[in-house]
Amino acid sequence: MKTPAFLRWCPQCQRATDNAPLPQMGSDGHRLRCLRRGSPHAFGRRLYCLECSHIWTSLELPEDYVNELLQSEKLVEEMRRELAMAKLLLAKDQRDKTAEVTEPAIKLHRAA
Ligand SMILES: [Zn+2]
């Protein structure tokens, strides 16, 4: 008997390959997962890559929810860049202020 297989993106192969579902313990209801409070529940399915033998779990979610997550990821990345720039500017400002305080003291020391 041939193993049923589905074309899926194997995380190990990093490309689409044939994957077979592994026997699941419990009912379909037990495979629903609440990922975060208030989020849609994901349906988990253990798969076996027929090319590399990697065993992994896929999660099925509504496409709109995944698109929201991707949009949030972009916003978080943008905020990280802005935070890094703010820290850089703050460090430069503090360095400039330190130089303003110490340079006159050095000149006075040399003049004496
Ligand atoms: Zn694979």
What is the chain's pLDDT, residue by residue, as a tens digit (112 residues)? 676 889 999 999 999 999 999 988 778 788 898 888 999 999 999 999 999 999 999 999 999 999 999 999 999 999 999 999 999 999 999 998 888 877 776 777 777 6
CA of 72 to the centre of ligand 1 (A): 29
Q: Which residues surround ligand 1, an ion (CB under 5 A)?
A: 10, 12-13, 17, 49, 51-52, 54
* pTM of the entire predicted model: 0.66
Q: What secondary structure does DSSP assign to 20-87, as a single string?
A: EEPPPSS-GGGGEEE-STTSPEEEEEEEEETTT--EEEEEE--HHHHHHHHHHHHHHHHHHHHHHHHH
Among 51, 34, 50, which residue's Cα sits nearest to residue 42? 34
CA of 23 to the centre of ligand 1 (A): 18
Question: What is the model's pLDDT at position 27?
Answer: 81
CA of 22 to the centre of ligand 1 (A): 14
CA of 75 to the centre of ligand 1 (A): 31
CA of 77 to the centre of ligand 1 (A): 29
